[in-house]
């Protein structure tokens, strides 16, 4: 599922491929992926215009259209953007933005859980959707992080995954952050001491930045990362060799090392 690093990679991909080209037409193949905008309104707002710049907040990608407003991409479970010059866009392309140069930008979403939306103002969209501060926002320093997370109910993992608190972290990267910080995913957030919260904050920034540099590809991540071992049969901890364990935390499957991340 696309989380902050994946969406940042999508953003850089759009920046490198799709900006400043006139849009010839927009083909909405499945209206189910549209948020609060109709297919007709989307076509009217995009046709003849250009994509100008991008911005990311958590797992949302905002793309400025001319002077008028912003397209909002959310990629759900399996979505991604694809820029190409084939006659036929990919099978699961739900919206296809065709440029005058013959290329198109497809919003691909097999399970159609993601959304394509429109907003006049990203700040207003973030407020309306009650999204917390972006996990890589410079204003989210260790002090603010301790304050936000330390007062949450429930486990540290569910506190990190709550988008109303901090936006951008999902199941995979919260596991990685807690593995790097050597904290058990079921530790109560409110019982995590200040020193440990500071370590989690430091690892959150490091894991996200390193993962973006790895293009969010597990096979490119450092050898001591947990992520490449997810879902591998008889996976062992890359640090100590103990068999990795799985646990249900907030309805998601958490991977962790019972030795490195022993319950305190
Ligand atoms: Zn271990």
Residue 262 inside a domain? The answer is: no
Distance (angstroms) between ligand 1 centre and the Cα of 199 equals: 17
Ligand 1 centroid, distance to 184 Cα (angstroms): 11
Confidence label for 250 from pLDDT (cuts 50, 70 and 90): confident
Q: Is residue 264 scored above 80 in pLDDT?
A: no
pLDDT in tens, 115-133: 999 999 999 999 999 999 9
| CA distances to 149, 175, 183, 260 from 155, in Å | 10, 12, 11, 18
CA of 143 to the centre of ligand 1 (A): 28
User: Which residue range(s) make up the domain with 9?
Assistant: 4-128
Could you give the CA distance from residue 76 to residue 64 in angstroms, rounded to a whole number?
21
Q: What is the CATH number of the domain that holds 12?
A: 3.20.190.10
238 C-alpha to ligand 1 centroid (Å) = 7
Specify whether 247 is located in the same domain as 146: yes
Separation of 91 CA from ligand 1 center, angstroms? 41
The answer to whether residue 201 scores a pLDDT higher than 90 is yes
Q: How far apart are CA 220 and CA 239, in angstroms?
A: 17
The phi, psi pair for 88, rounded to 5°, reads -110, 115
Please tell me the distance between residue 111's alpha carbon and the centre of ligand 1 in angstroms: 35
Residue 262 DSSP symbol = -
Confidence of residue 199 (pLDDT cuts 50, 70, 90): very high
106 and 31 housed in the same domain: yes
Would you place residue 214 in the very low, low, confident or very high pLDDT band (cuts 50, 70, 90)? very high
| Per-residue pLDDT tens digits for 83-113 | 999 888 889 999 999 999 999 999 999 888 8
pLDDT tens-digit series, residues 140-179: 999 999 999 999 999 999 999 999 999 999 999 999 999 9
pLDDT at 169: 98
CA of 261 to the centre of ligand 1 (A): 7
Percent of the chain with pLDDT over 70: 100
Q: In what helix (H) or strand (E) does residue 16 lie, and over which residues does it extend?
A: helix 4-17
Strand order in the sheet with 115-119: 51-57, 60-65, 69-74, 115-119
CA distance 139 to 145: 10
Question: How many angstroms is it from 243 CA to the middle of ligand 1?
Answer: 8
Note whether 140 and 87 are same-domain residues: no
pTM, full prediction: 0.96
CATH of the domain at 151: 1.10.8.50
Rounded distance from Cα 236 to ligand 1 centre (Å): 8
Mean pLDDT of 55-77: 96
165 CA to centre of ligand 1 in angstroms:
29
Shared-domain flag, residues 100 and 181: no
Q: Is the dihedral of CA 29, 31, 34, 39 positive or negative?
A: positive
Residue 68's pLDDT is 84
């Amino acid at each position: 599922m696309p989380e902050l690093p994946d969406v940042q990679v999508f953003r850089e991909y759009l920046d490198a491929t799709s900006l400043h080209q006139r849009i010839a037409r927009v083909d909405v193949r499945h209206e189910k992926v549209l948020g609060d905008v109709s297919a007709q309104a989307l076509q009217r707002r995009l046709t003849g215009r250009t994509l100008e710049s991008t911005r990311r907040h958590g797992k949302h990608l905002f793309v400025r259209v001319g002077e008028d407003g912003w397209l909002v991409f959310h990629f759900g479970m399996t979505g991604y953007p694809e820029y190409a010059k084939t006659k036929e866009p990919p099978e699961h392309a739900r919206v296809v933005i065709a440029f005058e140069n013959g290329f198109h930008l497809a919003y691909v979403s097999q399970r159609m859980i993601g959304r394509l939306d429109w907003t006049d103002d990203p700040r207003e969209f973030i407020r309306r959707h009650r999204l917390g501060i972006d996990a890589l926002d410079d204003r989210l320093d260790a002090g603010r992080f301790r304050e936000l997370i330390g007062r949450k109910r429930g486990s540290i993992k569910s506190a990190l995954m709550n988008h109303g608190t901090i936006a951008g972290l999902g199941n995979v990267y919260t596991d990685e952050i807690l593995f790097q910080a050597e904290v058990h995913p079921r530790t109560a957030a409110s019982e995590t001491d200040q020193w440990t919260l500071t370590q989690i904050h430091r690892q959150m920034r490091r894991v996200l930045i390193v993962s973006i540099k790895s293009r969010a590809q597990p096979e490119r991540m450092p050898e001591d990362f947990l992520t490449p071992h997810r879902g591998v049969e008889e996976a062992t901890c890359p640090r100590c060799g103990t068999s990795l364990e799985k646990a249900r935390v907030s309805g998601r499957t958490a991977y962790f090392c019972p030795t490195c991340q022993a319950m305190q």
